[in-house]
Amino acid sequence: AQKITQTQPGMFVQEKEAVTLDCTYDTSDQSYGLFWYKQPSSGEMIFLIYQGSYDEQNATEGRYSLNFQKARKSANLVISASQLGDSAMYFCAMRESRRGGNKLTFGTGTQLKVEL
């Protein structure tokens, strides 16, 4: 079974609109962490946001927020007020503290295109 599932290979959004990128995960651990990374066309991997499994509030970082629904095992990334520079590949990743040490398991990514 996939540990991290990103079901949207590609997404389009108009500039200034909000967009949600889906991520579901599978783990039996009680303690785990969820991460989102951005990979623009230039190729670098940029850390965006982190959510711990015990965090009661959804994480936010500027225009990024993580819609964490623990019972549904989902950790969707919400980007508000989209900008052209948000066009990139977005990866969801999970750290399982018990099994994986410091390892991250990445999803297959969602390609986001922001249009005028």
Partner 1 sequence: DAGVIQSPRHEVTEMGQEVTLRCKPISGHNSLFWYRQTMMRGLELLIYFNNNVPIDDSGMPEDRFSAKMPNASFSTLKIQPSEPRDSAVYFCASSLDQAAGAQYFGPGTRLLVL
Residues in touch with partner 1 (CB under 8 A) = 31, 33, 35, 37, 43-47, 50, 52, 91, 95, 97, 101-104, 106, 108-109
DSSP assignment letter at 52: E
Closer to partner 1 at the Cβ: 58 or 97? 97
What's the closest the beta carbon of residue 87 comes to partner 1, in angstroms? 19
Closer to partner 1 at the Cβ: 13 or 21? 21
Residue 6 neighbours by CB under 8 Å, 6+ apart: 21, 22, 23, 91, 92, 107, 108, 109, 110
Q: Are 114 and 83 in contact (CB under 8 A)?
A: yes
Closer to partner 1 at the Cβ: 11 or 29? 29
